[in-house]
Amino acid sequence: MIKHTPSTGISVNSAGLGQKPQPKNTATMDKIFVICGTRAEFEEYRRKKYEEMDVNLTDFVHVNSPMQLKGYSNPHGVLYGTWNRLPELRNILTEIMIQSHTPNKTIQNILDGL
């Protein structure tokens, strides 16, 4: 999942665009990767979503490097705030594409626009 708007973020997963993260049992919850420009944006997003979702604070991962995605299969999360200013944005999105089980048209469209 990858979601985008300054206030709520772009959800993108292998199923497509526009799906909001849903509450899940914390025992089976995957990590929620938050691709954003600053740590403050990450904290803001995590605080908002933690109150809405049945997850632990440790389920959220601030991503500002493709290395933070290594070892995960089919990662999902959000593009939030100033994500488009990240110096390694192309590499982060490419890593998501590599790790995804199915092609992701939204991420490909973003990559094509860089």
pLDDT tens digit string along 90-112? 999 999 999 988 888 999 999 99
Residue 55: predicted pLDDT:
86
Residues 6+ apart with CB under 8 A from 80: 3, 4, 6, 8, 9, 34, 35, 36, 41, 42, 45
Amino acid at 32: I
| pLDDT tens readout for residues 23-81 | 443 333 489 999 999 999 999 999 999 989 888 899 999 999 999 998 888 898 899 99
Distance CA 64, CA 19 (A): 22
